[in-house]
Amino acid sequence: MCILIIGNLHIIIIDTMPNNKYLIVYNICEIGKRNCEWYIKCIDNLLRLNHKKFHIVVSGCRVTQETKKELFNKFKNKISFCYTENFLSVNITFNHTVLKCVERFKEFTGYIYIDSGVNTEENYNLLEEIDNRVQTERYSMISVQTDTDHGHHWFKEDHVHNPYIKDKDFIVPVGRCCNLHVSYFSNDLLNAFDRLIPDIFNAYCTESVFSFLNASIQKQWVIIKDIILTHIKEKDGATLSYDHIGPRQVPWNNLYGCADMEDIVNDPKAREVGLGYEELGGVLIHDPDLYTPEGHVKNNTLKDYIRENLFLKSNQLDYSHILHSFHPVK
């Protein structure tokens, strides 16, 4: 609150804008089933995080009117809500929600994606742990471990007997990845690409390009040690807006609008700039000579290539035309 004095007139201005440091985006979808009681439990725990500078927004796809009403009655004046009515991937609905919040509240330091199946429970220091890594200015992505479907087999040879990151943070190597369930994205990524998550992907394989986004802006991707959050896999269902495999029946070639990933995989320019894709399956292997020991790309062209080829153009999807309702906190 601030007081504006004009002559003898005192005007009290109450600032209801969120403190713009971290935007927590809790992603839900009710195309398949309702999970409102679970959502309420998870949001309640997010509101208990030990940090003063964050704002929560529910990002929902095809959410029922009953759930919308219950969530609003429970959390009005505490959080914001952004609901899309189109059948869209979570990559797109998350990006759209972030853009609407930035439009309303201005830019945040970073944006935290949280899967509907994640419950932070008593990990009240979660945001403080993320904040500690943000302060180093080394990372543009920071991921938190979950107890299921973490994807550590993509980089840990001993993942069967030792699946978790303990004692020391883990820098994700270029070409490797983990699953997205709880991940921080810096505003640097938003400034570089205008959106945070590459939105050409309908389902699988988005995570396989994240290391290249980070490398292209001279940053790293880190997984926080020791913290392991409860996660119910596919709580709302898996990729409900689209066929999970796609018409080609090739999981790594399932793109928005039936675009063909082969066009990128076979593009000499992709290899020239240092891009890789779904490397665990050998689809497109990056050239390690194009990277520094810290995992930063040595050229200035990878970022432009990613922006041009891994993000939808407005003639493919105009975000301003997405049918939605946005209810910012008041």
Closest CA to 116 of 232, 280, 254, 249: 232
The pLDDT tens digits for 224-243 are 999 999 999 777 766 555 56
d(CA 21, CA 43): 18
Does position 57 have pLDDT exceeding 60, yes or no? yes
173 falls within a domain: yes
CATH number of the domain bearing residue 224: 3.90.550.10
Tokens of 170: 């883990």
pTM exceeding 0.85: yes
Which one of 7-21, 178-192, 245-259 scores highest in mean pLDDT?
A: 178-192
Percentage of residues in the chain with pLDDT exceeding 90? 79
1 falls within a domain: no
d(CA 195, CA 313): 11
Tokens of 244: 């999970």
The pLDDT tens digits for 22-37 are 999 999 999 878 999 9
Residues 100, 105, 108, 113, Cα dihedral to 10°: -40
d(CA 268, CA 93): 32
Reported residue count of the chain is: 330
9 falls within a domain: no
124 falls within a domain: yes
In this predicted structure, what is the pLDDT of residue 9? 52
8 falls within a domain: no
208 falls within a domain: yes
5 falls within a domain: no
The model's confidence at residue 270, banded by pLDDT at 50, 70 and 90, is very high
302 falls within a domain: yes
Average pLDDT over residues 110-123: 96
> What is the extent of the structural domain holding 263?
18-234+241-313
Our count of domains for the chain comes to 1
